């Protein structure tokens, strides 16, 4: 059962603005009419189910923190976008400058329209997009009493102590070009809670969206209907890691498959090993739905969770096996992910996975491709994270195509066509254009697959 997303908007906006900030379906909660801060917290919390993913944008983050603190069972995971437990600048604490807050308050009493126009410009700075501005304007709340009330909360509230005492997983995203909340506050917030995940998105503004994750997800969403008929390499790499894993263990209590896709390899995993409980995790809701509807899994207890690697929450000391096939390369921070996996495993638990390593797509050196880790880099990262590497090796697969266009299409049909950190100047270079024009020039495509089985070391 997927976790419900709840979105609380920032100052001056209706919850519909979440359409620009939140992936997939969400429950939007508008900030109610002026009342005490605690009454607002209680009213919002009354509309939130237990074990929800609460997302607070800007001012909305203050209420998200307060709800997670007072009603911990309501919050499975807390995500704060361009937000902080304290917004106003003070000694030793970066924030919105007092003069800027005072100018907001003055304009709120004199000219609301002018204030909201100025605020919208700050929200999207340095972007000047008329369509985005038009959308933002459609989400605004124009009520003097309402705006003044929440502006005072923004200026006065300090929830640093409550934030420090939260027990749920916390993810904070700051925009590197934010013209409202200085991203330097991220460095101070780190000191409040060491286990919170904090990212400064250097090309983002106050809207603090995570574009690379969205694009990876979109690529896989588009490929769900074509994946099963074009994933021979993925199936073969799954069989390769199964062989290594069977030489070590075949019986597992609780197993998680990270990046399960449509479940085609997960189904084979469940049939070849003795598993009591199985959890499937993927960034694509469409792929998870297909896995749920189409596949037949051996364990009677199977659950599905929609999450990407960088937002994933895994229960500690819980799994006997964490498995992944041809997926971990999409993580933006694989070192952090390895640590999460290690913490989620019971003592002696196994981590078995495959991923493409350097040498993959070597035939495509003339165009821009993703950078792959070397096997030695993966082994070193595993050891640094507290794993003992039990088995590792390389498996090479080569596919042949009548021309380059079909070769590139094969990558797209399994959703692996997103290039991280792509530079626009290389998206379609002259060499690539010339090669694509040769319809009858045969092309080979190499996959160099690293297979790894590691054990969590004793504490």
pLDDT in tens, 41-89: 999 999 999 999 999 999 999 999 999 999 999 999 999 999 999 999 9
pLDDT tens digits along 166-196: 999 998 989 888 999 999 999 899 899 888 8
How many angstroms separate the CA atoms of 321 and 249, rounded? Answer: 10
Ordered by where they begin, the domains of the chain are 5-209 (3.40.50.1820), 214-456 (3.40.50.150)
pLDDT of residue 213: 45
In contact, 351 and 390? CB cutoff 8 Å: no
State what percent of residues in the chain have pLDDT above 90: 61
Facing residues of 197 across strands?
171
pLDDT of residue 66: 98
- 328: CB partners within 8 A, 6+ apart: 258, 259, 309, 334, 337, 353, 355
**C-alpha pair distances (Å), 65 with each of 39, 45, 73, 156, 395:** 14, 11, 13, 15, 47
Low-confidence ranges of the chain (pLDDT < 70): 1-3, 203, 208-215, 310-311, 420-440, 459
At 150, list the tokens: 């929440």
Q: Where are the beta strands (DSSP E) in 357-442?
A: 387-401
pLDDT of residue 357: 97
132-140 contact pairs (CB < 8 A, 24+): 132/20, 135/20, 136/13, 136/17, 136/20, 138/16, 139/9, 139/13, 139/14, 139/16, 139/17, 140/12, 140/13, 140/14, 140/116
pLDDT of residue 295: 93
pLDDT of residue 230: 94
């Amino acid at each position: 059962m997927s976790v419900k997303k709840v979105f609380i908007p920032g100052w001056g906006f209706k919850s519909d603005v979440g359409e620009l900030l939140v992936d997939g379906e969400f429950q939007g909660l508008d900030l109610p009419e002026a009342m005490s801060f605690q009454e607002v917290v209680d009213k919002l919390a009354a509309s939130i189910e237990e074990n929800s993913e609460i997302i607070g944008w800007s001012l909305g983050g203050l209420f998200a923190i307060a709800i997670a603190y007072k009603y911990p069972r309501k919050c499975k995971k807390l995500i704060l976008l361009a937000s902080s437990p304290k917004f106003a600048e003070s000694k030793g604490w970066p924030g919105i400058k007092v003069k800027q807050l005072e100018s907001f308050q003055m304009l709120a009493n004199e000219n609301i329209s002018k204030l909201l126009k100025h605020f919208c410009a700050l929200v999207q700075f340095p972007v000047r997009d008329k369509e985005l501005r038009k959308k933002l304007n459609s989400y605004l709340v124009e009520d003097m009493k309402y705006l003044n009330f929440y502006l005072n909360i923004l200026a006065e509230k300090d929830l640093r102590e409550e934030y420090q005492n939260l027990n749920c997983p916390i993810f904070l995203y700051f925009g590197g070009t934010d013209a409202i909340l200085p991203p330097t506050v991220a460095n101070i917030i780190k000191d409040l809670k060491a286990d919170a995940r904090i990212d400064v998105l250097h090309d983002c503004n106050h809207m603090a969206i995570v574009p690379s994750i969205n694009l990876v997800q979109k690529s896989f969403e588009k490929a769900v209907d074509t994946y099963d008929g074009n994933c021979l390499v993925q199936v073969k790499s799954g069989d390769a890691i199964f062989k290594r894993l069977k030489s070590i263990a075949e019986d597992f209590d609780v197993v998680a498959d990270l990046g399960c896709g449509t479940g085609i390899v997960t189904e084979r995993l469940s049939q070849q090993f003795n598993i009591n409980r199985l959890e499937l995790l993927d960034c694509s809701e469409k792929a998870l739905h297909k896995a749920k509807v189409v596949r037949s899994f051996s364990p009677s207890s199977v659950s599905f969770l929609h999450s990407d690697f960088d937002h994933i929450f895994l229960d500690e000391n819980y799994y006997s096996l964490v498995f992944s096939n041809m997926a971990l390369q999409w993580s933006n921070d694989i070192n952090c992910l390895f640590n999460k996996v290690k913490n989620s495993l019971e003592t002696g638990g196994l981590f078995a996975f495959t991923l493409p390593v350097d040498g993959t797509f070597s035939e495509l050196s003339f165009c821009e491709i993703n950078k792959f880790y070397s096997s030695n880099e993966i082994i070193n990262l595993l050891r640094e994270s507290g794993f003992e590497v039990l088995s590792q090796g390389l498996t090479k697969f080569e596919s042949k195509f009548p021309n380059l266009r079909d070769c590139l299409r094969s990558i797209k049909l399994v959703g692996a066509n997103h290039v991280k950190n792509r530079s626009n100047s290389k998206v379609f270079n002259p060499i690539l254009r010339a090669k694509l024009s040769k319809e009858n020039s045969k092309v080979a495509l190499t996959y160099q697959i690293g297979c790894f089985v590691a054990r969590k070391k004793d504490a």
